[in-house]
Amino acid sequence: HGRPCAAKILVRGVDDDTAKANARLIAAAPEMAELLRWVTTNLRLDSGVTHVRETARALLARIDGEVAS
């Protein structure tokens, strides 16, 4: 299957599928964080989804290292 997945090299004992899924998640993280930042500043409070904005804020705090996971 070609070269070994870089994520697997860093995390021993992880199967290929998990390593590849983790690598894809890590690669998408900057865009996901950007979307969460957009949600926290642009989601209207009267939209009935206040919990979405609060969840986005909590996730950003974890990403930024402000809260233990």
Backbone angles phi, psi at 63, to 5 degrees: -60, -40
Tokens of 66: 């402000």
Tokens of 28: 């998408």
The per-residue pLDDT for 8 is: 47
Would you give the DSSP letter of residue 26? Answer: H
Residues in Cβ contact with 23 at an 8 Å cutoff, skipping those fewer than 6 apart: 5, 6, 7
The per-residue pLDDT for 43 is: 80
- Per residue in 9-60, pLDDT tens? 566 677 888 888 888 989 999 999 999 999 888 887 766 777 888 889 999 9
The per-residue pLDDT for 23 is: 87
